[in-house]
Amino acid sequence: MPVRMDSAETRFRVRYAETDQMGVVYYSNYMIWMEVGRVEWCKRFARNYRDMESEDGILLAVAECHCRYLAPARFDDEIVVKTWLERADPRLLTFAYEIRLAGVDQRLATGFTRHIILDKAFRRARLPAKYFAMFGVEKAAQ
């Protein structure tokens, strides 16, 4: 299943609020960072996610999430989130992520999120055809 292999990179610094008493970033914040990564991916390669929601009435609801933590992130670290689309069909999109420490060659975490498409009434829906090319959805999958 061919998908857009382009990846987007987003950078930001760890906020004090994101640390916990272990002195490192609390684990649920990586899911927020994944969101920051895929919003950037959509903006760059597909469509502004804000407009997908408000203009096309499409919601990408998270159906599954996985994260492997390899090394801790600390306050004020510069983080790089690399995001790409791993799988795309009209009913399910899978984004993959690699979270690294900027500058040095160190991976902090890897993970993925799977998203189902919902309409405004929270019913299962298909990705509108106009998005197929952007998300690399294959003809066969339609």
Q: CA angle, 38 as apex, 45 and 29 as ends, to 5°? A: 165
Measured from the Cβ of residue 104, the count of other Cβ atoms closer than 10 Å reads 6
For the chain, helix, strand, coil in percent to 5 are 25, 40, 35
* Rounded-to-integer distance, Cα 115 and Cα 95, Å: 8
DSSP 68-81: EE-S---TT-EEEE
Measured from the Cβ of residue 124, the count of other Cβ atoms closer than 10 Å reads 10
Sole window of 44-52, 88-96, 97-105, 124-132 interacting with its own copies (rule: CB under 8 A)? 44-52
Q: Which is nearer to its own copies, 54 or 142 (CB)?
A: 54
77 is catalytic: no
Given 39, 92, 134, 141, the residue binding its own copies (CB under 8 A): 39
Cβ of residue 30: shortest distance to its own copies, in angstroms?
A: 8
Given 2, 28, 106, 124, the residue binding its own copies (CB under 8 A): 28
Question: Which one of the listed residues 6, 20, 76, 119 is annotated catalytic?
Answer: 20
Q: Which of residues 83-112 bind its own copies (CB under 8 A)?
A: none
Q: Which chain residues interact with its own copies by CB under 8 A?
A: 12-13, 15-17, 19-24, 26-29, 31-32, 35-36, 39, 48-50, 53, 59, 61-69, 72, 75-76, 113, 122
